[in-house]
Amino acid sequence: MVDRLDLPDPFDAEGFIAALARKRGRPIELIGVPARPDRPCGLLVTTARTDLIIYSSDTSSVHRRHILLHEAAHLVCEHDSAGPGPGGGVGTLLPHLSPALIRSVLGRTVYTEPQEREAELIATMIHHRVARCRTSPARPAPARPRADTVIETMFGRGEV
């Protein structure tokens, strides 16, 4: 699944998510909120018109990218198509919204443990694919000559 994803080069999570939104034909809005110990660090909320990725904005760039990729992985895996859920962690992440509004408008926000593991795996695999592409040489390194070839070059054939 990850090998079939079109990843921007150079890679950035926002560019990947923008491309995912175009491919899905639905906007994906990124909403940064301050982190708090009693809140999840990321959340995907699917509404009738848009997908919202809510993430901790005051964390390291590496952690922020992983949060964004984890939530986007739910979309890649089509976890959002399972129908509305009860509202999950949205109330703790966005406490100014009423629980009734969360249940009636925000749609799918709770995932099963296997779906969470799958999203985490996909996010991690995207990180690895990006890292692998960054460390791959643009062109193959020249082949190293074998020792006997070096000796023949230096001394000629049969003189050693």
Nearest to 40 by CA among 51, 53, 27: 53
Where along the chain do its domains lie? 2-139
Task: Please give the pLDDT value at position 22.
Answer: 94
Predicted TM-score (pTM) of the model is: 0.66
Q: Output the CA torsion sign for 108, 90, 48, 67.
A: negative
Nearest to 2 by CA among 21, 16, 18: 16
Give the tens place of pLDDT for each residue, 12-66: 999 999 999 999 999 999 999 998 887 788 888 888 888 999 999 999 999 999 9
How, if at all, do strands 51-56 and 42-46 pair? antiparallel
Q: What percent of the chain has pLDDT over 70?
A: 63
Q: What are phi and psi of 18, to 5 degrees?
A: -60, -40
Count helices and strands (H / E) in the chain: 6, 3
